[in-house]
Structure 1
Amino acid sequence: MKKFDVVIVGGGTAGMLLARELGKLKHNVLLLDRKKNLLEFSFNTLGSFMNVDDFGFTQNVIAQNINTVSLVSKRVKRNIKSNLYILDKKQIHVELLNAIDGNYVTIKTGVHIKNIETDNHGNFTAVLDQNKEKYIAKLFVDASGTTGVLSKKVGLIAKKTQLATGVEYNVKYLGKATEMHLLIGKVFQGGYGWIFPLKNQRAIIGFGTFDDKIVKDLKNRLHKILELLAIKKLVIKDNVKVEGGSIPITPVLDKFIVNNLVCVGDAVSQVNPIVGEGYKFIFEAAIMASKAIHTSLENNDLSLLKNYETDWKNRFLANYQRSKRAQERFFKYSQNSLLMDYVLLISKLYPDARAIRSLSGEYGLENS
């Protein structure tokens, strides 16, 4: 039975980027995923402030350039000048797959990891799939997303986590191609909505919530939003294909390692809390993890894995804690249209640069 340097459980955003980085460093990696097709998604687009060049992607991953973010409540609209993108998830994952070095990284799909074995010292020795086949490695990575296949087993994240869940349609778009809309307040069904412009006069319109009580009513609530006059001026629903997905909403975590198990991405809730921006922050975390894993393997020293946690805390912890407080306020405000109108009105007193720092979760840039 072949023993790998690293077994990664999860072939999504975090897992594939980590596999790409470790392959570059010439480590023998096994990437496992329960899906048979790594290019199937529940959501196909996302808004992001990241610079795609920083993470080795081409401009092909950009579905649309955005220069204006429009925050919309019942009676108030604030336009914020910005520089962000609507990203094509499929193209990102295509480029990740193409960049993974097959000489060092083996990908196996249709694998459901069910358990993990330990030795007498508490270190992990193998993961087992649905057929009880073992996959042996020096180090293991949980990048299994909200499923948290391993992170939940070892207690890094609660077995039942609160999720922000959303649904969306691809629709005909009548608005400005470079203007993204964020819909907030009780008039938008007590959750939050978004309109992400695409090319060719198309857009994604979606509705999401933090509230478990209305998750089952998401599609119906999105339909009600589509009936609002202001929304009818922007989009026309011309198909019935609905998509959806979830991200974890948990307390801010800062522990991602147990012995020789490393966790990355949604498996340890690394989406930034303020606007659910995931890829930029998860990519950075995966690169930090790859460096710590490389150093640990090169020196045969598990303690060096802690560099990942240290780097992450230095880069993100204060911002995430601040974003979490903002998220909790936003949830409260979104239940009251008058209050949300007031918040947006007051926000007009602050410059666009400050608003963008808040939206992007990059508060640390304020004094740079």
Structure 2
Amino acid sequence: MDKFDVVIVGGGTAGLLLARELSKQKHKVLILDRKKNLLEFSFNTLGSFLNLEQFGLSHNVVAQDIDTIVLHSKRVKRSIKSDLYILDKKQVHVEILEGIDNNYATIKTGINIKEIQTDVKGNFIAVVDQKNEKYTGKLFVDASGTNGILSKKVGLIPKKTQLATGVEYNVRYLGNHSKMYLLIGKVYQGGYGWIFPLKNQRAIIGFGTFDEKIVKDLKNRLHKILELPQIKKLVLKDNDKVEGGSIPITPVLEKFICNNLVCVGDCVSQVNPIVGEGYKFIFEAAIMASKAIDSALKNDNLDFLKNYETDWKNRFLANYQRSKRAQERFFKYSQNSLLMDYVLLISKLYPDARAIRSLSGEYGLETHNK
């Protein structure tokens, strides 16, 4: 039985980026994931303000360059100029996997964690899978997404979390390939919608909601959106393959450490509340966590893990708290088309730069251009 410096539960965005950084620092890392294929996703694309170079990614991960965001309520449209991307999630993960040093990192798939073993001080000493195979390490990381396999066990996040859930189709696109659309207001079936252009006259159209009462009806509501005249001018549904997934919308958290357990990503609700797109924020959190873990291992001192929480709070806490308040207002406004029309109309009084800071979750900060 091998003993690792770090055992990471979850081979998604957070887990893989963290493993890449730790393997570069020559720490022995084990990644465990319940999926058999790490390149299968519920959603295959996302809109992002990610700075590719900052995280060692090439332009090959981009499904489409975007220069305009169109906010569309029932009667009002606002176009905002901005540089961002529609990302190909599969290619993002391919590049991260290629950056992992296999001399120091081991990946095991098809692993379901059934038991967690701790010592008398409450430190994790091992996780055990469905075949009773034990995996031991000095430090453990929960990067298991909304499952929160370890974070829920130690009480860092509630066992039942509130989720925003969405469905989408890959459709024929009739609009401008450099424009993406965000659809808001009651006319969009009590939730919110998006159109993400892709290459070859294709696009992703999706519908999501925060309301648990209408989650089971998502597909039918998306079909109704597809029949709206303004939407029919932009997309043409030509297949029945539907995809879907969820992101957490829990309260803003500040604690990600419990003894020798470090949590990164959706398992501790690190998606920005107003943005929905988690890559940019989870990547930054994973980098912070990697630095703290590196220091803790080199100094054989768990106190260094606290640097991760401190760095995250300094970078994100105020923005996340403000984003959470904005998210709660949006829940309320999205149920009233007239009110959403008014809000969007008033927003035209503010410059594009301010709107982009809000949409990107970077209140009070300059956004990074490509």
TM-score between both structures, scaled by the size of structure 2: 0.98
- The answer to whether the Cα contact below 8 Å between 1:354 and 1:366 also exists between their aligned partners in 2 is no
The alignment partner of 1:92 has SS state of helix
Q: Distance in 2 between matches of 1:111 and 1:36?
A: 8
Q: Any residues of structure 2 matched to 1:123-162 within 5 Å, and which?
A: 123-162=123-162
Q: Distance in 2 between matches of 1:268 and 1:275?
A: 16
The alignment partner of 1:280 has SS state of helix
Q: Distance in 2 between matches of 1:367 and 1:172?
A: 31
- Alignment correspondent of 2:71: 71
Q: CA, structure 1 residues 8+69, in 2 after alignment: closer, same or farther (shift >3 Å)?
A: same
Q: What's the offset of the Cα at 1:97? A: 1.1
Please provide the CA RMSD for this pair: 1.0
- Alignment correspondent of 1:269: 269
Q: Distance in 1 between matches of 2:277 and 2:106?
A: 29
- Alignment correspondent of 2:206: 206
Q: What's the offset of the Cα at 1:114? A: 1.8
- The answer to whether the Cα contact below 8 Å between 1:74 and 1:337 also exists between their aligned partners in 2 is yes
- The one-letter code matched in structure 1 to 2:234 is L
- Alignment correspondent of 1:180: 180
- The one-letter code matched in structure 2 to 1:2 is D
Q: What's the offset of the Cα at 1:99? A: 1.1
The alignment partner of 1:80 has SS state of strand
- The one-letter code matched in structure 1 to 2:174 is L
- Alignment correspondent of 2:354: 354
Q: Distance in 2 between matches of 1:69 and 1:122?
A: 48
Q: Distance in 2 between matches of 1:16 and 1:302?
A: 22
- Alignment correspondent of 2:256: 256
- Alignment correspondent of 1:301: 301
Q: Deviations over 1:276-299 (max 9, x none)?
A: 020000000000000000000000
The alignment partner of 1:161 has SS state of coil
- The answer to whether the Cα contact below 8 Å between 2:65 and 2:86 also exists between their aligned partners in 1 is yes
- The one-letter code matched in structure 2 to 1:195 is I
- The answer to whether the Cα contact below 8 Å between 2:183 and 2:192 also exists between their aligned partners in 1 is yes
- Alignment correspondent of 1:87: 87
Q: Any residues of structure 2 matched to 1:336-351 within 5 Å, and which?
A: 336-351=336-351
Q: Distance in 2 between matches of 1:97 and 1:366?
A: 30
- The answer to whether the Cα contact below 8 Å between 1:22 and 1:29 also exists between their aligned partners in 2 is yes
The alignment partner of 1:365 has SS state of coil
Q: Distance in 2 between matches of 1:121 and 1:206?
A: 47
Q: Distance in 2 between matches of 1:12 and 1:119?
A: 28
The alignment partner of 1:11 has SS state of coil
Give structure 1 stretches of 5+ with no counterpart: none
Q: Distance in 2 between matches of 1:259 and 1:289?
A: 14
- The answer to whether the Cα contact below 8 Å between 1:114 and 1:149 also exists between their aligned partners in 2 is no
Q: What's the offset of the Cα at 1:42? A: 0.4
- Alignment correspondent of 2:333: 333
Q: Distance in 2 between matches of 1:122 and 1:45?
A: 39
The alignment partner of 1:245 has SS state of strand
Q: Any residues of structure 2 matched to 1:307-326 within 5 Å, and which?
A: 307-326=307-326
Q: Distance in 1 between matches of 2:301 and 2:84?
A: 40
Q: Distance in 2 between matches of 1:319 and 1:212?
A: 26
Give structure 2 stretches of 5+ with no counterpart: none
